[in-house]
Amino acid sequence: MTALDPLLARRNQIPRGIAYMVGSTVMFAGGNAVVKWQLAIYPLGEVAFGRTLFAFLTVATIVLPSTGLAVLRTNRYREHLQRGLSQFGSMLCWFLAVSVLSLGSATAIGFAAPLFTTLLSIVILKEKVGIHRWSALIVGFVGVLIITHPGAGTLTMGAFFALGNAVLISTVAIAIRRMSATEPTETLTLYQMSIMTLCTACLLTFGFRAPHWGDALMIALAGIGNGIAQYWWTRSLSLAPPSAVVPFNYLSLVWATILGFA
């Protein structure tokens, strides 16, 4: 029996996975709106650290009272580190993208993520993708081509970073699905947020500006929302195949439009 057999044999809970994914898109959208606003005032590293720190504290508050430090027990330290670094790279690309693009444009270009995730789930997880998901995949790919206009001289640096975020977040999604065969959502999320907090702390060396109390409160709230969103997103990928739940990220454009940043 291969390492993937328990994963493939495990019963998928797709409806619950979809619900968690949809909820995470709402929370991420609100946090992203705050991030775009704060990046116009404060250094990128400061915004990244503030949001990630409060996200980590939120996850720790949710997880540790019921699990204690036993949640940190694992035999997959290397995979946790690799996934955390990929998530950090994804976040960094996203921040750089929204610093120069509208939130709606960055979100739309980021829709390449379901394409990469679906392809990786076929190759790595050996998932079967039916005609309906393939149709959605093709439509999404055409949409990305229309938005980025490759070859027309409009593939800006912001679009490049948005695509980088899409690629990296896809590898994270696949890693979560693989690791969830042995690792609970609580362990996956806490390790991820711990690694990201340490990485973003290093970015403070590139600049820091004492925040106004109102701005500090907003970034704290964004971090709390991000922590909840990360937990729901990870839970979604633990419950269902990535190719089934990741396409619901398309709802992010709806929320971005409602927030007035499209």
- pLDDT one-digit tens code per residue, 106-125: 777 777 766 777 666 666 65
Q: How would you classify residue 156: left for phi > 0, otherwise alpha for psi between -120 and 50, otherwise beta?
A: beta
Mean pLDDT of 120-134: 65
- Which segment of 17-26, 174-183, 201-210, 223-232 scores lowest on mean pLDDT? 174-183
Contacts of 122 (CB under 8 A, 6+ apart): 129, 243
- pLDDT confidence of residue 200: 96
* pTM across the whole model: 0.79
- pLDDT confidence of residue 152: 46
Q: What is the pLDDT of residues 150-167, one digit of tens each?
A: 444 445 788 889 888 888
Q: What is the pLDDT of residues 15-71, one digit of tens each?
A: 899 999 999 999 988 888 898 889 989 999 999 999 999 999 999 998 999 889 999
User: Environment class of residue 240 by beta-carbon count within 10 Å: exposed (0-12), middle (13-18) or buried (19+)?
Assistant: buried
